[in-house]
Amino acid sequence: MLIKYRIYELAKDLDVPNKEIIAIVKKYFDVDKKHMTSLTEDELNILFEYFTQNNQVPNLNAYTSAPLKPAVPKKENQPERNPHHKIPQSENKNSTPKNKEKPKTSVAPQKGKVTVEMRAVNVNLDKYNERYEKMVQSPNNDRFTNKQKLGSKYNKGRGSKKNLERMNAQDKMELERKRRQNLKVLIPEEIVVNDLALKLKVTSAEVIKKLISLGVMANITQTIDYDTAAIVAEELGFNVEKEVVVTIEERLFEAEPDNPEDLIPRSPVVVVMGHVDHGKTSLLDAIKNTTVSAGEAGGITQHVAAYRVPVKDSYITFLDTPGHEAFTAMRARGAQVTDIAILVVAADDGIMPQTVEAINHAKAAGVTIIVAINKIDKPEADVEKIKQELTEYDLVPEEWGGETICVPVSAKSHQNIDTLLDMVLLVAELKDLKANPKAKASGAIIEAKLDKGKGPLATLLVQNGTLKVGDMVIAGTAVGKIRTIYNDSGAKIKQAGPSTPVEVTGLSKTPSAGDIFNVVEDEKLAKELAEKRKTGQKEEQFKQYQKITLDNLFDHIASGEMKTLNIIIKADVQGSVEALKQSLEKLSGSEVRVKVIHGAVGAVNKSDIMLAEASHAIIIGFNVRADAIAQEMQSKSEVDVRFYRVIYDAINEIKDAMRGLLTPKTRDVEQGSVLVQMVYKISSVGTVAGCKVSSGKVTRNSKIRVVRDGIIVADDTIASLKRQKDNVKEVLEGFECGILLEKFADIKEGDIFEAYTQESYIDDKI
């Protein structure tokens, strides 16, 4: 096994700073390392060579010039032995004497000779043999051995109890050392300091002390990574291995590689994207020869729909995504599950903001873009202009030397529709799209809704494997066995292969659009995973309500000045809930915050009314109605319930509601400038300024800023405005007047009175 040699260990051995070794590794290997990172063999070789070359001495004189120690004289010069000292006789190798005498020599240099003193030292080997026997005693004879030892030698003589305690402490230390060497500790990717101490069966203080010695300051509640924990454990004498945590997902979704022999070509999945009203749905109508757009409210696609269209000898799966910016998230999800994006651009309109968004989403998802320049049948159509605009977004047409396929089409006259489909099949062939129909089915949730008769309905796109009736499926927090499968035409089918959009029943609840679904075998594990995900969602919601700490205290104080408009959204499909939530929360401004406190699929019910009443919220219903009980409750309460079929109306009305919550602000409206010509002090009245209006006018309701040498010295209101001893409402430019202020009396000749009024207004930034 390769011994790990970490940077801090090498720095300690070489007596150099950690930074110096890190800098050398960075210089020669261009790798950033930390002081606890292990060094490779190549890195160690370079480091040793570096320090060897940079620490050479010029010569060895410093070492060879030192005086040598006096050598021991030869045997013939040694003095005679002292006859009173006993010399131990040589013994047989097999003999084991009870007491062995070991000679100890001391060399004392004298004049002309060296005296060697030899002294016999008695060593009680039985004591150490006895300790050794106790350490290696057989575990089967522990009771017998302990009785024998405690009853014989350990109880002899005075102080035997202290000796026993001392020997027991030493034995415990030795046993602890052996325990640590033999114990294999599994440490996860991250671990809390206290948990590490529990794993190692040592005190937290011991772990923290070792961390401090490594330069890591952490308390018992802090989390450290695997590398740091492993170093601590190894320093304490433990064998460490990284713990491989097998999650429920890994147990449920076995990632088995597909057998190349089982892979077959699959149909391409195409998303149609573009700006609103550029003809996306009409283009699909032309492809399918249907009239889908006639059923859309306001002519705008409200949901993500999926179609499987036969083209020549194969199929193409189309996803029709909404074009309004409120459905940005849905459009992004559509791009993520697709292979090719058809970008529809009107030839008479050009690149629009939502067209740019569609381009960015398609690029981020890594899908190939085919541009369909629509409405070429219109007289004002300019195809070349569209191609020129596309180059500004790195979409260079093929005929201009680029890689982007551009097909001029007309959804109205069906012109070049076949060419567009041929280009889709060509790109799909180049991509070599394949899937394994023998695998367990997996894919994405395209849409989900709640049906009164069928229960939760989910539109799935099978991306790999084959989905069958009776399969156990988990999608987000929804679990269930597939009861029925409907194809895009509404017909019941028993199974669906790759690249097939289907609608299924049998799930426990409506999943969220964009969730990944998987077919699993273990129903118990699937339900356990669903509950775990529910708990995770609740924790995420709980995190949104932060506790007050010193760090966020100011934010909480500031948010107390902010008004909140609470909204409950109920819609026919999950995609609409998410889209409305995203659009409405974007309306939040500096004073008013829009907060969607609840969003779900289905009709407005009793619990929605109760929640709205308790939280002072308004209810937005999108393509749904309220049930009978909710209608009765709503009529008795003051809950505001609004129903919409087009998203524009919902957003506009929420804007109007928000304007009612905005605090009116004030601003100064300049009226005129007045010059003080004389100052009169009247005992019964006060200080009166004799003035002339230089510009504009001054009114009885005017506020006055007193300006002296360009500095505002007072801000007051008019107590009296007179002209020729008569009270007047206003004095115009060029006329003289007398002005008495409410509070300010220190008026001087030459002062300027700036007359102004204040008006309220709404700072509408929505």
pLDDT at 99: 43
661-709 pLDDT, tens per residue? 556 667 889 999 999 999 988 888 889 999 999 999 999 999 999 999 8
pLDDT at 287: 85
Q: Is the pTM of this model over 0.85?
A: no
Confidence at 433, pLDDT banded by 50, 70, 90: very high
For residues 33-44, average pLDDT: 82
For residues 19-43, average pLDDT: 84
- Domains parsed from the chain with CATH numbers: 7-59 (no CATH), 128-181 (no CATH), 183-242 (1.10.10), 266-434 (3.40.50.300), 442-539 (2.40.30.10), 553-659 (3.40.50.10050), 665-761 (2.40.30.10)
pLDDT at 637: 79
For residues 192-207, average pLDDT: 88
The single-letter DSSP state of residue 239 is: E
Q: Measure the CA–CA gap between 313 and 600, rounded to whole angstroms.
A: 42
Residue 71 has pLDDT above 60, yes or no: no
pLDDT at 450: 87
Tokens of 271: 């998303």
Confidence at 562, pLDDT banded by 50, 70, 90: low
pLDDT at 406: 94
pLDDT at 322: 58
For residues 208-219, average pLDDT: 86
pLDDT at 218: 84
Highest mean pLDDT among 45-49, 105-109, 184-188, 716-720: 716-720
Q: Measure the CA–CA gap between 244 and 242, rounded to whole angstroms.
A: 6
What does each C-alpha distance from 393 to 119, 274, 338, 404 come to in angstroms?
A: 98, 14, 21, 11
- Secondary structure (3-state) at 146: helix
Confidence at 115, pLDDT banded by 50, 70, 90: very low
Q: Measure the CA–CA gap between 583 and 628, rounded to whole angstroms.
A: 29
What does each C-alpha distance from 315 to 309, 468, 749 come to in angstroms?
A: 6, 20, 93
Q: Which residue has the higher pLDDT, 102 or 26?
A: 26
Task: Report the candidate in 703, 690, 689, 675 with the shortest Cα–Cα distance to residue 746.
Answer: 689
The greatest distance separating any two alpha carbons of the chain, rounded to the nearest whole angstrom, comes to 146
Residue 302 has pLDDT above 80, yes or no: no
Calculate helix-pair angle for 41-54, 7-14, nearest 10 degrees.
20
Confidence at 220, pLDDT banded by 50, 70, 90: confident
pLDDT at 119: 45
Tokens of 214: 């490594």
Residue 603 has pLDDT above 80, yes or no: yes
Average pLDDT across the chain, whole number: 78
pLDDT at 336: 66
The single-letter DSSP state of residue 572 is: S
Residue 246 has pLDDT above 80, yes or no: no
Residue 488 has pLDDT above 60, yes or no: yes
Residue 656 has pLDDT above 80, yes or no: no
Q: Which residue has the higher pLDDT, 157 or 161?
A: 161
pLDDT at 763: 57
In the chain, pLDDT over 70 holds for what percent of residues?
74
Residue 660 has pLDDT above 60, yes or no: yes
Cβ neighbour number for residue 640 with a 10 Å cutoff: 13
> Cα(first)–Cα(last) distance of the chain, in Å?
66
pLDDT at 462: 93
373-424 pLDDT, tens per residue? 999 988 888 999 999 999 998 899 998 999 999 999 998 888 999 999 999 9
Sign of CA dihedral 165, 167, 173, 176: negative
> Position 687: which residue type?
T
Sign of CA dihedral 194, 200, 205, 209: negative
In the chain, pLDDT over 90 holds for what percent of residues?
25
pLDDT at 77: 44
For residues 468-491, average pLDDT: 91
Confidence at 659, pLDDT banded by 50, 70, 90: low
The tokens 């569209």 sit on which residue? 386
Q: Measure the CA–CA gap between 524 and 747, rounded to whole angstroms.
A: 89
Q: Measure the CA–CA gap between 50 and 55, rounded to whole angstroms.
A: 9
Cβ burial 84-97 (10 Å sphere, 16+ → b, else e): eeeeeeeeeeeeee
For residues 94-118, average pLDDT: 43
Confidence at 59, pLDDT banded by 50, 70, 90: low
Tokens of 397: 């047409």
Cβ neighbour number for residue 411 with a 10 Å cutoff: 24
Residue 27 has pLDDT above 70, yes or no: yes
Residue 82 has pLDDT above 60, yes or no: no
264-291 pLDDT, tens per residue? 999 999 988 887 777 888 888 888 774 4
507-558 pLDDT, tens per residue? 999 988 778 899 998 888 888 888 888 888 777 666 554 444 445 545 554 5
Tokens of 498: 């790759």
Q: Measure the CA–CA gap between 640 and 613, rounded to whole angstroms.
A: 9
Residue 563 has pLDDT above 90, yes or no: no
pLDDT at 560: 57
> What is the 3-state composition of the chain as percent helix, strand, coil, each rounded to the nearest 5?
35, 30, 35
327-370 pLDDT, tens per residue? 445 544 555 678 899 999 999 888 887 788 788 777 877 789 99
Q: Which residue has the higher pLDDT, 131 or 758?
A: 758
